[in-house]
Amino acid sequence: MEDDEKDINVDVVVKTSEISVIEKDENDNFDSHRKLSVSSISSSFSHETICNAFSRATDTSDMRLIVEGKPLYVSRLVLSIISPVFKEMFERRARELSLFEIPLAGRKYDEMLEFLYSVYPDSLKPISDENLSVLLKLSEEYKVQTLKNRCSQFMLRQIENGPKSLPVEQLVWFMKLADHYKLETIIDKAIEQATRTPSDLLENNSEFYDLSPTTTTKIFMGRLRLFEKSHQKIQKKVAETEAHCSVYHKKDSICAKCYVSIGKLAISEFSRL
């Protein structure tokens, strides 16, 4: 182990200004819904396990990322395979000098640790509410499509489980993430569920107003179509009942008994809205 650390601890250090690091953007505000910290990791992925995985050099690590002044020991090969952004960074610097250390300015240590533990083949930490927004952000910035797909699959499973297992707050949050990262399948599935969610529950959620105008319009148009469809069914039932009463009950208007059948249909329709 000492030899490994000695080998990687070379004098060549790349200046932060020389490295093309993706700037932080408004993606960070998604983290307000679910705070990520190493302490939030599930029991099967303990704080000690995650920190030990990348905090020391191994026989497979040949690169050291410096984040918030702390080292993360990684494999250039692994990161080059999963991320074209890292691949380009390594290749560009390799043409100029022997490269063993890269400072990543503007990055958060806990987030990069979570990212690494979620993309390394021997770990592949599961996606959860706690790390979803961070992993979506980093998968987008480092162009890791496999990780982005896993995030999408996690959201899709949650949505398909139905409204009873997915609170409105989380549904809106998913739509906000899907809006931002252009996850069309997630947007469509979430909108489908949102159209059957009472409007006041959506509007009372502050993040609902962060959704794109296109998404909110689709939600309300979808709800409007549901009401119109129910109205048409009830109208048709009323017309059929009037005809039935006039022929079989000899009534000029709908009798009380037949009104019951209309009421049952109306209750059934509105319970689905």
For 51-78, the pLDDT digits (tens) are 567 888 888 888 899 999 999 999 999 9
d(CA 237, CA 180): 44
DSSP strands (E only) in the chain:
63-67, 70-74, 101-103
Question: CA-CA distances (angstroms) from residue 257 to 116, 246, 254, 260?
Answer: 68, 13, 8, 5
Q: Is the pLDDT of residue 9 over 90?
A: no
pLDDT at residue 252 in the model: 65
Q: Is the pLDDT of residue 256 over 80?
A: no
Q: Over range 230-240, report the average pLDDT.
A: 80
pLDDT at residue 50 in the model: 54
More confident residue, 147 or 94: 147
Q: Is the pLDDT of residue 113 over 90?
A: yes
d(CA 138, CA 263): 53
The percent of residues above 70 in pLDDT, for the chain, comes to 74
Q: Over range 229-240, report the average pLDDT.
A: 80
The percent of residues above 90 in pLDDT, for the chain, comes to 45
- Specify the range with the lowest mean pLDDT, choosing from 43-47, 49-53, 75-79, 107-111: 43-47
More confident residue, 60 or 33: 60
Question: CA-CA distances (angstroms) from residue 229 to 200, 221, 222, 232, 273?
Answer: 21, 12, 11, 5, 11
Question: If you average pLDDT over every residue of the chain, what do you get?
Answer: 79
SS3 label, residue 71: strand
pLDDT at residue 44 in the model: 44
More confident residue, 51 or 271: 271
pLDDT at residue 116 in the model: 95
> Residues 174-194: pLDDT tens digits?
999 999 999 999 999 999 999
pLDDT at residue 48 in the model: 54
Neighbours of 48 (CB within 10 A): 10
